[in-house]
Structure 1
Amino acid sequence: MFYCAIIGDIIGSRKLEDRQEVQTKFLAMAEKANKLYQSEIASPFTVTIGDEFQVLLKCSHVAPKVIDFVKREMASVELVFGVGIGEIVTDINPKLAIGMDGPAFHFARNAIEQAKKKKPKIIYKSDSAGMCMINSLNYFIESCTERRTKRQKQVLEYLRQDLTQEAIAHELGIKQQSVSDIIKLSYLSEVEDAKRTISFYLKDIDHCKK
């Protein structure tokens, strides 16, 4: 059976003035994520080396949602992720994501080391086809999101909370057309299309590897 290993790391964590606060926030995030994605997790979020953490998922198509959740919850710090898809050759540890071995973790380790050196900050690796496409799409998504202004991020957060454009306009004291223009300039549609394509590829991999 194939699994999806995710290894994440906080960039420059040792230089953070509020490192203890960040670590406390991470532990709270991990507990929340382990509950939210309980049915999808084979081995839960676990802090490993320094400020690295890892989790083992049952299916790879869940990885983008899990990573997006971590990024939202830990928005105050810069993160990198390595995602590996492959077999686990040891017994699965259902309590901690440590003490396991196999290609899934080897790919994830290789991926995060690459992500620490160059973009994108989320890299997928596997012996399956489609990894180059997925990583190229992640690069595109990252480039679009990094260009977003504070106002664009604010509007998109309201959208994520299911507010209508009219409600957002009222909240910000601007016209509805201005909200629409802000959304277009944030490349939301293009980013969502890229995310759907990644999900399609990962679901196909999950189907083929069953």
Structure 2
Amino acid sequence: MDNKKYIVIKADIINSRQSKDRNAVQKSLSKVLKTINETFSESIASRFMITSGDGFQGLMTSGKHFFDIIQLLESSVAPLKLRFGIGVGEVATDIDESNSAIIDGPSYHYADEMLTRVEEIEDQYSSISTNILLKSNTEPDELLNALLSMRYVVRSSWTTRQHEVIAAFVQMNEKQYETAAKLKVNQSTVSRALKSTDYYSVKSAEIALINHIEGTLL
């Protein structure tokens, strides 16, 4: 077994059958996966790919762009929601750069377990609210998953348009004027979106989470 640790991201679309145009959702998801694979190739060991009608996955070597990728994925299907299972650990097979579905190991098992757990949580009225759970050892990291839950609660209030603005802001390296030009709006519109979504508070939590994930990979 390779002792190097990786990050497995597995996800699926929640209640995708409620979409009026599932074909459009699939096209949007395929397009953003292609963008992710091209933009963050230096952090990806096996490219992100659709593995079923509503599911997809990828294998990463670094957590540096973890939330950039999550943000783009969430925005690509909004107002539909995604659920994520994240596994951090070793792989037990050779790594195929083009087909993450044929790779196996503890990190994949962790991701599967967490994705199942997120789905179970959705049916529990007295449980936490979250769409992402992470596991990197024999037990899930409670503090990390609590932060992920708080991130989810804040972002759940975002409108589809706010998701679009924030996604563009991330793609434009967090530059307001460039984002405004891309969206053909005033800079003040971007500024208001950042404030109304509490973007920088979310970003602060994400930085802390990324630092933790990066430490887990060592």
Match of 1:34 among 6, 17, 37: 37
Distance (Å, rounded) in 1 between the aligned partners of 2:18 and 2:159: 26
**Residue 89 (structure 1) shift:** 0.3
Query: Does 4-13 or 112-121 show the bigger shift?
Result: 112-121
Distance (Å, rounded) in 2 between the aligned partners of 1:32 and 1:179: 22
| Number of the residue aligned with 2:136 | 126
| Number of the residue aligned with 1:114 | 117
RMSD of aligned residue pairs (Cα, Å): 3.0
| Number of the residue aligned with 1:163 | 176
Distance (Å, rounded) in 2 between the aligned partners of 1:74 and 1:114: 22
In structure 2, the CA distance between the partners of 1:190 and 1:130, relative to structure 1 (3 Å rule), is farther
| Number of the residue aligned with 1:12 | 15
* Match status 1:90 vs 2:93: yes
**Residue 200 (structure 1) shift:** 1.4
* Match status 1:204 vs 2:207: no
Match of 1:194 among 173, 181, 205: 205
Secondary structure of the structure 1 residue equivalent to 2:101: coil
Distance (Å, rounded) in 2 between the aligned partners of 1:63 and 1:107: 17
Work out whether residues 10 and 52 of structure 1, in 8 Å CA contact, stay in contact via their aligned partners in 2.
yes
**Residue 72 (structure 1) shift:** 2.3
Amino acid at match of 1:163: Q
Which 5+ residue runs of structure 1 have no aligned equivalent?
none
**TM-score scaled by structure 1?**
0.80
Amino acid at match of 1:202: I
Secondary structure of the structure 2 residue equivalent to 1:72: helix
Match of 2:151 among 141, 154, 164: 141
**TM-score scaled by structure 2?**
0.77
Secondary structure of the structure 2 residue equivalent to 1:120: coil
Amino acid at match of 2:72: F
